Amino acid sequence: MELYFLGTNAGVPTLQRNVTSIALRMLEERRSLWLFDCGEGTQHQILKSPLKLSKLEKVFITHMHGDHVFGLPGLLSSRGAQGVTSPLTIYGPPGIKAFIETTLSISQSRVPYTMEVIEHTGGVLFEDDNFLVESAKLDHRAESYGYRVVEKDLPGSLDLKRLADYGLKPGPLYGKLKRGESVELGDGRWIHASDVLLTPKKGRVVTILGDTRPCAGVEALAKEADLLVHEATFMEDLSELAHEYYHSTAKQAAEAAKRAGVKALFLTHFSSRYKDIDHLQPLLNEAREIFANTRLAEDFGLYPIQRS
């Protein structure tokens, strides 16, 4: 899994940063791409990136403010124009379905693929054998949500020494054991997967939040996550302004990361008053005083999510 930031600015785009959109690349895990928010210009950012709309499987919208959704109609239309026919599922708060249907209908945009739009108010949104996605409400002027992506634990590696003791050589039976199946040897003996698999590999947890003030939903979603993406619209000297506009400071993001016990924190959604990376450095310093493993998200930044 890798995070790829397509936009890290708040409110409106600047010459240095586009508005919010984050891609979660899972090419090894499921050969697909998940997108979190889709601010205006997101498809242009994708054109400048290694990402492909043909890989896009799911879109998760945190809230209905324009800097998080205005790029969605164009992206959906362009995906069809490129000849992509694979299905797409979109998750978002109440209103997302009407927004998509209205804009596509009025603009006479053609979507030649199956598209399912799921409105939600939190809870478990998706689960299969490999992943679980949960959502919880945050504290913002608009109904805003965060998402917790949980990779389920993976089977441990095969214990090659034990397999050799059984006299089993590499081949199709290795694959069956790796999948958790039992296999029969030629002499009538059985080997069970639990006999030859090492400790399972812990799945990764990624939490991506929408706009929010500090609230209980943040820490519930972020608990012991490998990586937390948290807005940091302002520095702490503007904490009153942040509260008034239902946003967070870099210090508040770091405090949430520390309380939740996350492993790494990425700050994003920066106010336009912080014009470039030099102006953002004080936000990073402020956060690192509380949570050392903090980084600034940058447009077109690709960040691998390592296993523990």
pLDDT, average across residues 188-207:
88
pLDDT, average across residues 170-175:
85
pLDDT, average across residues 153-158:
83
**In this model, does residue 156 exceed pLDDT 90?**
no
Q: Give the per-residue SS3 of 221-256.
A: HHCCCCEEEEECCECHHHHHHHHHCCCCEHHHHHHH
How many distinct helices (H) and strands (E) make up the chain? 11, 16
Which token pair is 30? 């499921």
Rounded distance between C-alpha atoms, residue 272 and residue 295, angstroms: 18
Rounded distance between C-alpha atoms, residue 67 and residue 230, angstroms: 16
**In this model, does residue 259 exceed pLDDT 80?**
yes
Which token pair is 154? 């993976």
User: Is 187 labeled as catalytic in the residue annotation?
Assistant: no
pTM above 0.85, yes or no: yes
Over residues 2-48, the pLDDT tens digits come to 999 999 999 999 999 999 999 999 988 899 999 999 999 999 999 99
Q: List binding-site positions.
A: 63, 65, 67-68, 140, 211, 269
Q: Quickly state the pLDDT bin for 258 (edges 50, 70, 90).
A: very high
pLDDT, average across residues 132-161:
93
**In this model, does residue 164 exceed pLDDT 90?**
no
Residue 44 · residue 72 · CB < 8 Å: no
Query: The domain 2-154+201-304: what is its CATH number?
Result: 3.60.15.10
Sheet holding 265-268, edge to edge: 123-127, 131-137, 145-151, 205-208, 227-231, 265-268, 294-296
Q: Which helix (H) or strand (E) holds 193?
A: helix 193-196
* Domains of the chain by residue range: 2-154+201-304, 160-196
Rounded distance between C-alpha atoms, residue 4 and residue 300, angstroms: 6
Q: Quickly state the pLDDT bin for 103 (edges 50, 70, 90).
A: very high
Closest Cα partner for 128 from 57, 199, 192?
57
Catalytic residue, candidates 67, 139, 226, 278: 67
Task: Give the residue, 167 or 251, on which the prediction is more confident.
Answer: 251
Computed over every residue of the chain, the mean pLDDT equals: 95
Which token pair is 75? 């992206």
Look at residue 173 in the predicted model and tell me its pLDDT.
Answer: 84
**Residue the block writes with tokens 């069956």:** 176
- CA–CA distances in Å: residue 248 to residues 83, 157, 197, 267: 41, 42, 45, 10
Over residues 47-57, the pLDDT tens digits come to 999 999 999 99
Which token pair is 124? 């478990």
Look at residue 226 in the predicted model and tell me its pLDDT.
Answer: 97
pLDDT, average across residues 81-97:
97
Q: List binding-site positions for Zn(2+).
A: 63, 65, 67-68, 140, 211, 269
